[in-house]
Amino acid sequence: MILTVIRPAYFPTIAVIAKAMAADVLVWADSFQYKKHDTMNRTAIKTVGRARWLTVPVLSKGLGLQPISAVQIDNRRTWQKNHRRALELNYKMAPYFYQYWDELEDMLSQEHEKLSELDLISIAFAFRALGMKKTLLKSSQLPQVKDRTGRVIAWMKDTQCHNYLYESREASLIDRSRIEKEGVQAAACHFAPVVYHQQFGEFLPDLTILDLLFNEGEQSLNIVNEGISASSADV
């Protein structure tokens, strides 16, 4: 079976969904360190002429380094209302907007305390909308190993997987030869953005999965599949 690690993100990009699609076991990295100005608490939508970030405010000032699982949402701010308004304003004319809007509007009307919980709900929504049946294992419930390569090896043993799928940009961060000495095949997952119908002119890559769903509906899964390629025939 193939294992990959998914970093929590708020309505993740198509590339993240593609990596999840290519694996059997998904580790939800809620024990990783929270980083500011990352997709952990924001997602990019398309507006007239440009991309725009929708950001979930979090409590981080004076709290130092925090694992993602500990990060709290700042619900003193009206971010949910702003996100609902931005999505409706920019996507209400998209062909499949109303196919997903009722569930999304309900999700974005509920109050969530932890960022990781909100991110988990958002990726679960994407899986349902795409018809993907995936289960996520929280990294906080797996062996805690600081060394990145050692962590991969420990998690592969714990989940009884024999293929590890990583992003190509992570190649320099792991010791592939050390991993493969443990009987594990490691391969990079590449995603080439596929041009699909978008509103507002020129195509923009690296947007939220919501952009694809609103514009392509039932064809979204096929479009994600088109962009997937792996660097090893074993994966």
123-129 long-range contacts, CB within 8 A, separation 24+? 123/6, 123/8, 123/9, 123/11, 123/12, 123/16, 123/20, 125/11, 126/11, 126/12, 126/17, 126/209, 126/210, 126/213, 127/20, 129/100, 129/213, 129/220
29: Cβ–Cβ under 8 A, 6 or more apart, which residues?
Answer: 5, 6, 7, 8, 68, 139
CA 167 to chain centre: 13
Tens of pLDDT, residues 197-216: 999 989 999 999 999 999 99
The pLDDT value recorded for residue 169 is: 82
Tens of pLDDT, residues 27-56: 999 999 999 889 999 999 999 979 999 999
| CA distance linking residue 59 with residue 70, whole number of Å | 10
Tens of pLDDT, residues 54-98: 999 999 877 778 999 999 999 999 999 999 999 999 999 999 999
Total-model pTM:
0.92
The pLDDT value recorded for residue 229 is: 60
| CA distance linking residue 162 with residue 153, whole number of Å | 10
DSSP 22: T
Where are the domains positioned within the chain? 2-230
Question: Using an 8 Å Cβ cutoff, are 112 and 124 in contact?
Answer: no
Q: Which two tokens stand for residue 24?
A: 């059997």
Residue 230 confidence (pLDDT) above 50: no
Q: What would you measure as the largest C-alpha separation in the chain, in angstroms?
A: 53
Write down the residue that tokens 């500990």 correspond to.
Answer: 70
The pLDDT value recorded for residue 235 is: 42
Tens of pLDDT, residues 102-155: 999 999 999 999 999 999 999 999 999 999 999 899 999 999 998 999 999 999
Tens of pLDDT, residues 10-31: 999 999 999 999 999 999 999 9
How far is the CA of 166 from the CAs of 27, 67, 174, in angstroms? 12, 21, 9
- Name the CA radius of gyration of the chain, rounded: 18
